[in-house]
Amino acid sequence: MRINKQSAFLMTAGATILAAQAAQASWTLGNGDTLSFTELFAAGSDRTVYIDDKKFVFESFSSAHFQLNDITLIGFLSLNQGGGGFRNVGFDLVGGFADNPGDQQVSEGNLQYTVEVNPDAYGQGLRLCDVRATFNGGVSGDGSFSRVDESIFDLDTNQFLGQLSVFNLAGPPADERFVDYRDFCEQNPEGFRAFEVNKDFKFYSPTSTGTASASFIRQEFSQIPAPGAFALLGLAGAVGHRRRRA
């Protein structure tokens, strides 16, 4: 088969475009911007996402039940309720998180990633402080449950800091917690540069008529200025107004 110069050029250009797409290494997301897990974990990606002044590196995702093409990551920004002008930075995971009822198997997924203050913001004195987890897990039928559990580590020291859990348990007895929150600056008032997060999703409905599901899972990180950093940030008047969220 003969290939003329124009065809060869188009084929080369197409291959270059595909190679560039496969080699997409990182993304920057604003509030509400979306990124599919298929893109995030594609070959050639370094799995890095920048959201505001935070850098997220998604090290791994594993699941025998939830497919990459069913999960979307959405950038999330929210002004701290306590004032001071600081933002909560994080993301939503949106997808069809649900168990196959009655198959006697827990539908589970695990996500491991790091979050760090970018160097410019860190140089100005911003530090990670607390973590909030939220989800909208729903259940029906005895024995059904939806839950997300996560372990938080100080990335720089590999020190275990604590756990968060959100859940909806059909019971009996029934129990639920849709928001969980930990302030790790109670352990270290200086704040943290980076966290490692290991996040586990579990959904289970033992009967064919039951349900266990969630359509979104949210992760938020708030920040504080390190002691002595107010002058750098121009926030001298903000002393004593460290955020507290309901």
Residue 4 belongs to some domain of the structure: no
Residue 35 belongs to some domain of the structure: yes
pLDDT digits (tens, 9 = 90+) for 140-190: 999 999 999 999 999 999 999 999 999 999 999 999 999 999 999 999 999
Q: Answer yes or no: is pLDDT of 225 > 90.
A: no
**Residue 71, helix vs strand vs coil:** strand
- What is the 3-class SS of 6-33, one letter each residue? HHHHHHHHHHHHHHHHHCCCEEEECCCC
Structural domain that includes position 72: 24-235
Residue 77 belongs to some domain of the structure: yes
Distance CA(124)–CA(214), nearest Å, equals 38
Residue 13 belongs to some domain of the structure: no
pLDDT digits (tens, 9 = 90+) for 103-117: 999 999 999 999 999
Residue 106 belongs to some domain of the structure: yes
Q: Answer yes or no: is pLDDT of 76 > 90.
A: yes
Phi, psi of 81 (to 5 degrees): -70, -20
Residue 6 belongs to some domain of the structure: no
Range with lowest mean pLDDT among 33-37, 171-175, 226-230: 226-230
Distance CA(58)–CA(48), nearest Å, equals 6
Count of domains for the chain: 1
Please spell the DSSP secondary structure of 141-196, one letter per residue.
STT-EEEEEEEEEETTTTEEEEEEEEEEE--SSPEEESEEEEEGGGT-TT-BSEEE
Please spell the DSSP secondary structure of 208-220, one letter per residue.
TT-EEEEEEEEEE
Residue 196 belongs to some domain of the structure: yes
Highest mean pLDDT among 75-79, 159-163, 238-242 belongs to 159-163
Residue 61 has which token pair?
């995702």
Residue 170 belongs to some domain of the structure: yes
